[in-house]
Chain A
């Protein structure tokens, strides 16, 4: 039981880190980034190539992966999203969905569908206490996610740029009237989202293989975590992610065949009772 809690918490923290970018972008501009899973996949591949070509330990390549995907996020904003922001909802959906397919198949064309594993010094080692066993890669991923989350939260709440982002999310026109360059805020939002998910990708490389479809399963959980926690809320992504991680692992130890059924049922229940999500503002 304690083991499931610990493991679920670590898993949930990583889900939270993956989800926060999605929540941020939606809160800022009402756009769901359907390519979010692919950003994660690219983050994983960045970490893999750093390992494969430069010999960098996966758990330490996060600055590179984070920066790389932040760039991908910003480029996506300027090249794709900026053009559909005034378009119909359908256009926006198709734009990021199309990007997802492009990235996924591009990755397959460039790097083949083979599973690529990186070897971390943390792999295979574990920490045991109170009858709980946690793999070191898992611990580093969970703790890393928690630290990144805290940093993001502090940035959003305590810095003036964070305030600008929140202001733009609340009311775009009013923020513009206040002299905030909303265009740049959007780009920064996408960059932050990319940075978070790139970091998550690097941390995940110590435990999982990278392959073109790697983002899909995590992205699915991210959408649910964000919807459950509330679109636009950073804390909501944390709560949503951790909740899903806990429920998934705990349900997995009792009724593994139905663990996702339980996760999604919980989601359904929460959204029926509170459509905005647990901490949602929009």
Chain B
């Protein structure tokens, strides 16, 4: 792998990617997966982003005995199903929820604050609901109190009511989980209704997208989020800069982010497995996947490596906490990977 063209293990044949759009809908994901398997005769499926879509599309793969490789969906329930043909490289929301509280504990100790009242504000599909579930599980263990749990439709055109509810709950910290359009709307509504949390710690997805920062400019400053990757890792892994340049060339100048970096990494892991399988037989590919052994220094991710456990989960994946500072994502946790000092508490809207 690396030199030359194509996969050496398969006689230098090239991978052909057949694309299908799930439109972020679970039922479309399932029907597209079925179509790819039965009509396009793909040897493996790669996707999706939304956990809800991955959950249903992977069922088609499990039925058909085709490997389903997931790089970005973070719902823990995907692995808990115990599917034989499902593999995932990214860590999941249960780990991330705990990471969030570990970070809160450390940052409050460091900055001398003691906020305990938390509001959960999340979109209502699998991703948001599971996030809220795990945050509710870990909050009391770390001494935090969930004062309100607000679920909303990610496609909402208006979030005034939801934000009102958060405001009237007396929450000091807001832990949101949403996709990019509703995340942007949430921030705009928070500003409009003059709700200034002492800390805003999001769960990835919309809050770490380049479009989110672009739309909000200064209003995105000091937003914290669980993330899986940051361009700042280039300080420790210089190859990230080269790969980012390759990406920028194809993405009209956008930088890699947590989502694109995981897609990229995941696809290469799958390609590596296809290469080692030396055949397009599904069982051979599946076996090769279980034997994946990639060390951390070959990855642009902050993981210790890629090694799948018995359930198909990459046990070496970890999360990061980043903060938007001057429109850039800076790593603020864990301490050994931090690239900037955290801004805490969340600054007021006026005067930004």
Contacts and interface: CB of A to CB of B under 8 A. Distances in A.
Which of A11, A135, A251, A260 has the most B CB atoms < 10 Å from its CB? A135
A124 B152 contact: no
A134 B155 CA distance: 21
Interface stretch (B51-59, B185-193, B328-336): B185-193
Contacts of B150: 256-257
A28 B155 CA distance: 31
A270 to B, nearest CB: 21
Interface in B219-261: 219
Contact of B158 (A113, A128, A249): A249
Interface in A246-260: 248-254, 256-257, 259-260
Contacts of B153: 260
Contacts of A7: 158, 160
A216 B181 CA distance: 14
Contact of B192 (A135, A251, A259): A135
A15 B245 CA distance: 44
Nearest to B165: A253
Contacts of A30: none
Contacts of A123: 188
A46 interface: no
A217 to B, nearest CB: 5
A260 B155 CA distance: 12
A135 B158 CA distance: 12
A209 B215 contact: yes
Contact of B160 (A211, A213, A253): A253
A249 B152 CA distance: 12
B338 interface: no
Interface string B178-205: 0011001100100111100000000000
A253 B159 CA distance: 9
B161 A249 contact: yes
Main secondary structure of the interface of A (DSSP, over half): helix
B192 A126 contact: yes
Contacts of A251: 161
B275 to A, nearest CB: 31
Given A3-B160, A114-B211, A249-B158, A124 B219 contact: yes
Contacts of B152: 252, 256-257
Contacts of B181: 115, 208-209, 211
B162 A256 contact: yes
Contact of A213 (B23, B151, B159, B192): B23
A250 B162 CA distance: 9
A8 B164 CA distance: 13
Given A117-B211, A218-B157, A252 B162 contact: yes
Which of B124, B157, B184, B185 has the most A CB atoms < 10 Å from its CB? B157
A253 B157 contact: no
B316 to A, nearest CB: 32
Nearest to A220: B155
A133 B161 contact: no
Nearest to B23: A213
Which of A216, A217, A256 has the most B CB atoms < 10 Å from its CB? A256
A73 B161 CA distance: 35
B214 interface: yes
A4 interface: yes
Given A138-B192, A251-B161, A252-B165, 6 more contacts: A7-B160, A123-B188, A133-B192, A207-B188, A211-B181, A256-B165
5 contacts: A8-B160, A11-B158, A123-B188, A124-B191, A133-B193
Interface of B: 21, 23, 124, 150-153, 155-162, 164-165, 180-181, 184-185, 188, 191-194, 211, 214-215, 219
- The 6 closest A-B CB pairs, nearest first, are A252-B161, A253-B161, A253-B164, A117-B215, A256-B162, A7-B160
